[in-house]
């Protein structure tokens, strides 16, 4: 079993749809959870980070962490074509520790 | 947010030559930087963890003598690909840990290496 699992997609949705992206993980030591957006041929851009369980909202983005289920989600409301990118989840046990990345989900938002 | 830069953004070199890639944290100090490699349509693969003033820690399967990492200051880490071969062609991305307790990583824009 991989340490972090993520559906690679591709996921295609119409503009304005609510997008749900998910990752599952197996290491209960993970405490920090991140979502990155990566456009083609660019470095990943940090979108959201959360510590432990709970929800965090930032504009159209909401991140959820359920440590009991080892499951994290990123919701994108009112999706836009500019949201078309690969979304990577990442998690680590603490400061200075390397992150383990999911394989990424390719999202296409169609106008 | 914190800014991390990489130089060069794209380099083409001949097989057998060495290439140095720089990673700089522009507005914060980073005691820890990471180097990743990414093949097309694949996720990032951690190559090594670089701590300022000490030797880098390499992931299993990554050749230390081929990928030389130097973290000479709190704002600069370098990756040198020695005796590059076409199979080393890839997208190399560095990241630096922020100073906050969350330890979030900020990524550089990446360096595309093409070895002919």
Residues of chain A neighbouring B43 (CB-CB closer than 8 A): 88, 101-104
Please list, in sequence order, all residues whose beta carbon lies within 8 angstroms of the beta carbon of residue A8, skipping any fewer than 6 positions away: A103, A104, A105, A106
Q: Is the pLDDT of residue B1 over 70?
A: no
The answer to whether B102 contacts A51, with C-beta atoms less than 8 Å apart, is yes
Q: Is the pLDDT of residue A42 over 80?
A: no
Each residue's pLDDT tens digit, A51-109: 888 899 999 999 999 999 999 999 999 999 999 999 999 888 875 566 788 888 999 99
The answer to whether A96 contacts B97, with C-beta atoms less than 8 Å apart, is yes
B93 to chain A, any CB pair closer than 8 A? The answer is yes
What letter would DSSP give residue B72? E
Residue in A36, A42, A94 nearest the CB of B110: A42
User: Are residues A56 and A35 in contact, defined by beta-carbon separation less than 8 angstroms?
Assistant: no
Count the neighbouring beta carbons within 10 Å of the beta carbon of residue A25. 23
Select the more confidently predicted residue: A9 or A79: A79
Among A54-63, B41-50, B92-101, top mean pLDDT goes to: A54-63
Residues in chain B, total:
116
Q: Are strands A71-76 and A19-25 parallel, antiparallel or unpaired?
A: antiparallel
pLDDT mean over B15-31: 92
Residues of chain A neighbouring B91 (CB-CB closer than 8 A): 41
Q: From CA B6, how far away is CA B24, in angstroms rounded?
A: 6
Q: Is the pLDDT of residue A27 over 80?
A: yes
A40 to chain B, any CB pair closer than 8 A? The answer is no
């Amino acid at each position: 079993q991989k340490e972090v699992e993520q559906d690679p997609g591709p996921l295609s949705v119409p503009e304005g749809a609510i997008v749900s992206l998910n990752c599952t993980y197996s290491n209960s030591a993970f405490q920090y959870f991140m979502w990155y957006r990566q456009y083609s041929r660019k470095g990943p851009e940090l979108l959201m980070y959360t510590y432990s369980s709970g929800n965090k909202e930032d504009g159209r983005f909401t991140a959820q962490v359920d440590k009991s289920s080892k499951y994290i989600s990123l919701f994108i409301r009112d999706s836009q074509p500019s949201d078309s990118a690969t979304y990577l989840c990442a998690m680590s046990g603490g400061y200075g520790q390397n992150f383990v990345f999911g394989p990424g989900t390719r999202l296409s938002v169609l106008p | 947010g914190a800014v991390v830069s990489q130089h060069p953004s794209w380099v083409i070199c001949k097989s057998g030559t060495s290439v140095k890639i720089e990673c700089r944290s522009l507005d914060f100090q980073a005691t820890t930087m990471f180097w990743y490699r990414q093949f097309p349509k694949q996720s990032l693969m951690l190559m090594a963890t670089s701590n300022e003033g000490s030797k880098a820690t390499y992931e299993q399967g990554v050749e230390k003598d081929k990928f030389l990492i130097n973290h000479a200051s709190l704002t600069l880490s370098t990756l040198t690909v020695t005796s590059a071969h076409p199979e080393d062609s890839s997208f190399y991305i560095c990241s630096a840990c922020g100073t906050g307790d969350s330890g979030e990583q900020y990524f550089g824009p990446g360096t595309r290496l093409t070895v002919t």
